[in-house]
């Protein structure tokens, strides 16, 4: 027997032993589940018998209530027991199939060497509960596996830093109870296993990377001390993969004190949410709150249509209006909103009349007078609250005068017998005095009729955020020196007109909606969400500083993890390093940690090396040594030839069961391509909106929706000089090309874009058709 066979045999024996114990634990658990279930059934059956129902006296009612509660609690406890046991069973099933993926041998302070097996969850020997047969990958000791080679190393344990001597690191691949492969390594995580993992075909769902987490990714996953963890990683470096592992890690580390509802992930689009939603369940955790910034905004302004991803991406602003948008998206502008809001304490609050039956009930002038009648030291919040109180008083004062109005009398006369009966039901049966009776009815009718007014007051509908927002925008030139931002007063005025125009059509731009809501929150004194403990933003390069500041304001107690790649800034087109300066203003600089990921795991070496030359800062990108064919740049004379080429590639890939994305610049282009492919009987699904599902086979998708996703094969549609004329689109081209895992082809109708001009000739295969 070779040494490898010896090792395999040893590991198989150990695995058999562990699985036998897992089997034993499963048996025990099956009994517990059956018992818990039976107990629950009995309890349900006896529920009403056991509850002592006494309702004749107050004490009796109280006693009944307490008794019901006790029974409910017992039922819940049993149910919990049953639920926990069922969940434990799911874990055991998982461990039974794939018990662990690694082993490290460690020695601590001259103690005996311990064999640590690492898997998806911890498991102790049912016969010796102190004996850990499997350690959860998130346990402190497991860090050793991800962080170091052989020799002395330290890791963070609950009681402080621990030093151990690592004498063996072994990767173990198990399939359905059989040890398929073992690999001893002195690296952090050996390349062969990673290589094997990365050469798989893509799927419509992302997978967990638990067995091959890299050292720098482990640092991201286990960071607990930073208020802001800023991960700047190149395309395909595993930012998303690492952050999902981080979520699972945090839920484990703070179990009991942290639940999935206290973590929120902002993702680039809905398609992406769909793509990643299997990872946490695969790791045995529940998903956290997941949304896009668009959803976060639009659910708060149901009466307005927020600019969509497509509109935002395809909007072609002239440079002057671009300056305005940049200014509106800056931290300086965020400060300006705050400064402006403070001035509202003295003047210029915008109110609407409170209306009743088409008439002014309380005039806006009157409301304004009340609002400014309070002390100078009132905050905007208390000012508005006190105004509301005063308005309710006015409303109540109106009831008796309103009761004498003609319409009330008419209403009463017009009431049917049933309606009268219904109204009287609250009055009791001692009716006799007709004046009293009339007054009672009149009061009820008036109160009912005035309810909408009460709601207007309670929901502060008399405050006109629309007018306030417009007023703010108009006031901006008086609050700042616009020339500092290369904006003239005329440019500014044009943008204000534009915003108001949009408003009239029920629309609002992405830049405006955050300003609008920030102002609304400041005036109404909305309280931020204090319960959120962790916030993650993927593709942070597409967020503006204003948006980040607003997120920070919304979740002041949350620790932030921001993941991004400035080279993929296709919306904000940021290329400076001002992002960091802005972040330093939002977070305590001492609590900011920056981690750079330079190695790209998604694509083959050939694709990564090709992508490096598309962007100015590409040199620092490191390719992972996985071989594949060179990217193809196909120059064809006509659109017909291009469609033909794409169609044939799609057919070939479909036959090989590979996923293909034909990525276009705009949605219009996608529609055209999909239609032409269909006309020629090639099959490809058009992805038009982020609400669609990712499907197997070929898809046609606009670049802004392909963000964060990956495919076996990518065909970039029409990378011609005509379609991508200048370097301004380099980030977009980079984003498109880096979606490919195994094959990349660029089809260009006519001369290729100058963005490919820096590409060394031996990096790709040029095909002329
Ligand atoms: N340690 C790892 N082990 C195995 N696979 C990995 C590892 N790190 C990353 N990958 C794989 O590399 C691919 C890219 O990862 P991911 O999508 O997280 O990168 P990203 O940095 O978010 O990329 P982008 O910014 O381009 O969207 C995924 O298929 C992921 O599973």
Q: Are residues 625 and 606 in contact, defined by beta-carbon separation less than 8 angstroms?
A: no
Give the domain-ending residue among 551, 579, 600. 600
- The DSSP output letter for 767 is E
d(CA 704, CA 690): 10
DSSP string across 527-552 = PP--S--EEEESSGGGS-HHHHHHHH
Alpha-carbon distance 726 to 50, whole Å? 79
670, part of any domain: yes
208-to-64, 245, 604 alpha-carbon distances in Å: 50, 7, 20
Structure tokens at 42: 């009995």
Asked, for residue 344, whether it belongs to a domain, the answer is: no
Q: Give residue 621 CA to ligand 1 midpoint distance, Å.
A: 14
Q: Is the CB of 202 under 6 A from ligand 1?
A: no
Taking 60 as the threshold, does the pLDDT of residue 577 lie above it? no
Q: Is 78 in the pocket of ligand 1 (CB under 6 A)?
A: no
Q: How far is the CA of 619 from the centre of ligand 1 (A)?
A: 20
pLDDT at 581: 85
Residue indicated by tokens 């659109």: 639
Phi–psi pair at 537, nearest 5 degrees: -125, 120
Q: Kindly tell me if the per-residue pLDDT of 750 is higher than 60.
A: yes
**Average pLDDT rounded to a whole number, residues 147-153:** 86
Ligand 1 proximity of 239 Cβ (cutoff 6 Å): yes
- 317, 390, 505 from 276: Cα distances, Å: 33, 51, 36
Q: How far does the centroid of ligand 1 lie from the alpha carbon of residue 265, in Å?
A: 17
Asked, for residue 470, whether it belongs to a domain, the answer is: no
Q: What backbone torsions phi and psi does residue 758 show, to the nearest 5 degrees? A: -80, -5
Q: How far apart are CA 46 and CA 85, in angstroms?
A: 23
Partners of 711 in the beta sheet?
740
Q: What is the pLDDT of residue 86?
A: 85
Q: Is the CB of 564 under 6 A from ligand 1?
A: no
- Distance, CA of 288 to CA of 439 (rounded, Å): 55
Task: Determine whether the shortest distance from the Cβ of 570 to ligand 1 is under 6 A.
Answer: no
- Ligand 1 neighbour 662 (Cβ under 6 A): no
Residue 48, judged by CB atoms within 10 A of its CB (0-12, 13-18, 19+), counts as exposed
Write the pLDDT tens digit of every residue in 397-434: 888 888 888 888 888 888 888 887 777 776 665 556 67
- Out of 172, 201, 230, a domain closes at 201
Cα–Cα distance, 661 to 686 (Å, whole number): 10
**Six-digit token pair at 412?**
């009463």
Q: Are 614 and 649 in a shared domain?
A: yes
- 581 and 625 share one domain: no
- Helix, strand, coil percentages (3-state) for the chain, rounded to 5, are 50, 20, 30
Contact by Cβ (8 Å): 673, 664:
yes
Q: Is 216 in the pocket of ligand 1 (CB under 6 A)?
A: no
Domain that includes residue 69, residue range? 3-201
Residue of the nearest CA to atom 4 in ligand 1?
Answer: 209
Phi, psi of 613 (to 5 degrees): -85, 0
With H, G, I as helix, E, B as strand and everything else as coil, classify residue 355.
strand
552: Cα within 13 Å, side-chain hemisphere? 21
The pLDDT of 357-373, averaged and rounded, is 94
Task: Yes or no: say if 403 and 439 are a contact pair by the CB < 8 Å rule.
Answer: yes
pLDDT, residue 431, reads: 56
- At 426 the pLDDT is 66
Query: How large a percentage of the chain has pLDDT more than 70?
Result: 91
- What integer is the mean pLDDT of 458-477? 95
Q: Is 334 in the pocket of ligand 1 (CB under 6 A)?
A: no
Q: Is residue 257 part of a domain?
A: yes
Residue 279 has pLDDT above 70, yes or no: yes
The per-residue pLDDT for range 367-391, each reduced to its tens digit, is: 999 999 998 889 999 999 999 999 9
From the list 554, 563, 561, 551, the residue with the least C-alpha distance to 531 is 554
Query: Residues 590-609: what's their mean pLDDT?
Result: 94
Of 720 and 207, which is predicted with more confidence?
720
Q: How many CB atoms lie within 10 A of CB 501?
A: 10
Query: Does residue 253 carry a pLDDT above 80?
Result: yes
Burial bucket for residue 486 (CB in 10 Å: 0-12, 13-18, 19+)? middle
Residue finishing a domain among 582, 600, 618: 600
Contact 263, 536 (CB under 8 A): yes
Ligand 1: centre distance to CA 242 (Å): 8
pLDDT, tens digit, 9 for 90 and up, residues 7-48? 999 999 999 999 999 999 999 999 988 887 776 666 566 555
- Residues 27, 163: one domain? yes
On the question of pLDDT at 533 being above 50, the answer is yes
Has residue 296 got a pLDDT over 50?
yes
Residue 541 and residue 427 share a domain: no
Cα–ligand 1 centroid distance for 743 (angstroms):
16
Same domain, 139 and 156: yes
Q: Is 660 annotated as a binding residue?
A: no
Total domains in the chain come to 4
Q: What is the mean pLDDT of residues 315-331?
A: 86
Rounded Cα distance between 17 and 23, Å, is 10
599 annotated to a ligand binding site: no
Mean pLDDT for 256-282 is 90
Q: Which residue has the tokens 């640590």?
A: 116
Q: Would you say residue 325 lies in a domain?
A: no
Say how far apart CA 540 and CA 563 lie, in whole Å: 6
Other C-beta atoms lying within 10 Å of the C-beta of residue 389: 12
Q: What is the pLDDT of residues 546-576, one digit of tens each?
A: 999 999 999 999 999 999 887 777 655 554 4
pLDDT at 75: 56
| DSSP per-residue string spanning 69-104 | HHHHHHHHHHHHHHHHHHHHHHHHHHHHHS--SEEE
What mean pLDDT, rounded, does the chain reach? 88
Tell me what pLDDT residue 55 has: 47
- Between the CA of 405 and the centroid of ligand 1 the distance, in Å, is 72
Whether 57 shows a pLDDT value over 60: the answer reads no
User: What does the alpha-carbon distance between residue 701 and residue 663 come to, in Å, rounded to a whole number?
Assistant: 5
Same domain, residue pair 56 and 111: yes
327 has pLDDT over 80: yes
Average pLDDT over residues 626-645: 95
Q: Which residue would you say has higher pLDDT here, 86 or 334?
A: 334
**Higher pLDDT among residues 267 and 58, named by residue:** 267
- Does 233 carry a binding-site annotation? yes
Residue 69 has pLDDT above 80, yes or no: no
Mean pLDDT calculated for residue range 206-214: 88
How confident is the model at residue 53, as a pLDDT?
Answer: 46
Closest CA to 545 of 347, 325, 240: 325
Q: Are residues 304 and 239 in the same domain?
A: yes
- What's the pTM value of the predicted model, to 2 decimals? 0.86
Atom 12, ligand 1: which residue's CA is nearest?
602
Q: Looking at the structure, do residues 307 and 413 belong to the same domain, yes or no? A: no
Q: Which residues pair with 635 in a beta bridge?
A: 748, 768
Q: Are residues 257 and 219 in the same domain?
A: yes
More confident residue, 449 or 468: 468
Q: Is the CB of 495 under 6 A from ligand 1?
A: no
Confidence at 438, pLDDT banded by 50, 70, 90? confident
Q: What proportion of the chain, given as a percentage, has pLDDT over 90?
A: 62
Q: Parallel, antiparallel, or unpaired for β 765-768 and 632-636?
A: parallel
How much is the pLDDT for 693? 81
Beta-strand relationship, 160-175 and 102-107: antiparallel
What's the pLDDT at 111? 84
Q: Could you tell me which of 308, 295, 270 has the C-alpha nearest to residue 694?
A: 270
- 740 part of a folded domain: yes
- For the domain that residue 747 is a member of, what is the CATH number? 3.40.50.300
In a domain, 504, yes or no: no
Cα 536 from chain centre: 7
* Among 315-319, 415-419, 496-500, the range of highest mean pLDDT: 496-500
CA of 286: how far to CAs of 92, 135, 252, 261, 599, in Å?
17, 20, 11, 9, 29
One domain for residues 229 and 360: no
DSSP conformation letters of 110-162:
T---EEEEEESS-EEETTEEEEEEEEETTSGGGHHHHH--SEEEEEEETTEEE
ipTM of the complex: 0.98
Residue 647 counted as an annotated binding residue: no
**Cβ–Cβ contacts within 10 Å for residue 247, how many?**
23
727 and 638: one domain?
yes
Question: From ligand 1's centre to the CA of 239, what distance in Å?
Answer: 6
Instruction: Identify whether residues 393 and 451 lie together within a single domain.
Output: yes
Has residue 237 been placed in a domain? yes
Give me the DSSP letters along 607-658: HHHHHHTTSTTGGG-EE-S---PPPEEEEESSHHHHHHHHHHHHHHHHHTT-
| The pLDDT value given to residue 764 | 95
Q: What's the pLDDT at 576? A: 45
Closest CA to 661 of 769, 755, 738: 738
What pLDDT does 760 receive?
94
Q: Check: CB of residue 691 under 8 Å from CB of residue 707.
A: no
Residue of minimum CA distance from atom 27 in ligand 1: 708
Q: How far is the CA of 228 from the centre of ligand 1 (A)?
A: 21
In degrees, to the nearest 5, what angle opens at C-alpha 62 toward C-alphas 60 and 67?
A: 95
CA–CA gap between residue 558 and residue 610 (Å, rounded): 39
Task: Provide the 8-state DSSP code for 347.
Answer: S
């Amino acid at each position: 027997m070779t040494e490898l066979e010896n090792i395999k045999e040893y590991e198989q024996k150990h695995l058999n032993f562990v699985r036998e114990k897992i089997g034993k634990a499963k048996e025990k658990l099956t009994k517990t589940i059956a018992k818990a279930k039976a107990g629950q059934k009995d309890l349900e059956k006896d529920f009403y018998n056991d509850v002592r129902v006494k309702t004749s006296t107050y004490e009796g009612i109280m006693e009944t209530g307490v008794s019901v509660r006790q029974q409910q609690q017992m039922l819940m406890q049993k149910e919990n027991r049953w639920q926990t046991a069922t969940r434990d069973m799911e874990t055991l099933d998982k461990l039974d199939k794939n018990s662990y993926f690694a082993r490290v041998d460690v020695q601590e302070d001259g103690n005996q060497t311990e064999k640590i097996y690492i898997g998806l969850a911890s498991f102790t020997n049912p016969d010796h509960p102190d004996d850990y047969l499997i350690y959860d990958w998130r346990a402190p000791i497991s860090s050793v596996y991800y962080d170091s080679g052989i020799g002395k190393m330290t890791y963070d344990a609950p009681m402080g830093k621990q030093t151990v001597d690592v004498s063996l690191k072994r990767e173990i691949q198990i399939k359905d109870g059989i040890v398929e492969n073992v690999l001893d390594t002195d690296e952090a995580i050996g390349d062969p296993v990673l290589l094997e993992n990365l050469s798989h075909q893509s799927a419509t769902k992302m997978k967990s990377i638990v067995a091959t987490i890299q050292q720098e990714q482990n640092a991201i996953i286990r960071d607990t001390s930073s208020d802001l963890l800023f991960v700047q990683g190149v395309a395909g470096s595993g930012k998303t993969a690492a952050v999902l592992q981080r979520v699972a890690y945090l839920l484990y580390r703070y179990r009991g004190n942290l639940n999935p509802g206290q973590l929120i992930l902002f993702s680039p689009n809905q398609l992406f949410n769909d793509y990643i939603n299997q990872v946490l369940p695969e790791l045995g955790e529940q998903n956290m709150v997941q949304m896009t910034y668009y959803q976060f905004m639009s659910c708060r302004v149901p009466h307005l249509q927020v600019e969509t991803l497509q509109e935002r991406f395809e909007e072609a602003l002239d440079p002057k209006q671009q300056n305005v948008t940049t200014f509106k998206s800056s931290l300086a502008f965020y400060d300006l909103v705050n400064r402006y809001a403070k001035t509202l304490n003295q003047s210029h609050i915008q109110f609407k009349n409170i209306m009743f039956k088409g008439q002014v009930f309380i005039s806006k002038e009157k409301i304004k007078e009340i609002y400014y009648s309070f002390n100078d030291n009132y905050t905007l919040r208390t000012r508005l609250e006190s105004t509301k109180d005063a308005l309710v008083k006015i409303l109540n004062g109106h009831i008796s005068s309103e009761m004498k109005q003609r319409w009330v009398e008419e209403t009463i006369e017009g009431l049917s017998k049933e309606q009268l009966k219904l109204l009287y039901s609250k009055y009791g049966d001692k009716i006799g005095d007709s004046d009293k009776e009339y007054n009672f009815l009149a009061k009820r009718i008036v109160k009912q009729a005035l309810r909408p007014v009460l709601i207007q007051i309670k929901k502060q509908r008399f405050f006109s955020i629309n007018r306030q927002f417009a007023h703010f925008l108009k006031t901006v030139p008086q609050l700042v020196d616009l020339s500092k931002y290369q904006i003239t007063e005329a440019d500014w005025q044009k943008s204000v007109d534009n915003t108001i125009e949009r408003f009239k059509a029920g629309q609002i731009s992405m830049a405006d909606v955050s300003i609008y809501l920030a102002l609304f929150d400041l005036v109404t004194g909305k309280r931020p969400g204090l319960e959120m403990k962790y916030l993650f933003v993927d593709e942070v390069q597409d967020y503006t500083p204003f948006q980040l500041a607003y997120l920070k304001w919304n979740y002041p107690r949350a620790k932030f993890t921001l993941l991004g790649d400035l080279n993929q800034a296709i919306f904000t087109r940021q290329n400076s390093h001002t992002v960091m300066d802005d972040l330093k203003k939002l977070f305590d600089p001492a609590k900011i940690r920056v981690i750079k990921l330079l190695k790209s795991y998604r694509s083959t070496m050939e694709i990564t090396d090709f992508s490096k030359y598309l962007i100015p800062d590409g040199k620092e990108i490191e390719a992972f040594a996985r071989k594949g064919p060179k990217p193809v740049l196909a120059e064809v004379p006509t659109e017909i030839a291009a469609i033909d080429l794409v169609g044939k590639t799609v057919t070939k890939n479909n036959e090989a069961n590979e996923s293909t994305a034909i990525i276009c610049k705009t949605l219009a282009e996608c529609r055209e391509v999909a239609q032409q492919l269909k006309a020629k009987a090639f099959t490809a699904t058009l992805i038009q909106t982020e609400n669609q599902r990712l499907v197997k086979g070929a898809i046609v998708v606009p670049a802004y929706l392909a963000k964060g996703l990956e495919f076996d094969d990518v065909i970039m549609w029409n990378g011609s000089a005509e379609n991508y004329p200048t370097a301004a689109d380099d980030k977009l081209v980079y984003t498109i090309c880096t979606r490919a895992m195994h094959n990349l082809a660029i089809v260009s109708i006519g001369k290729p874009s100058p963005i490919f001009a820096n590409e060394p000739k031996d990096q790709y295969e040029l095909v002329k058709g």
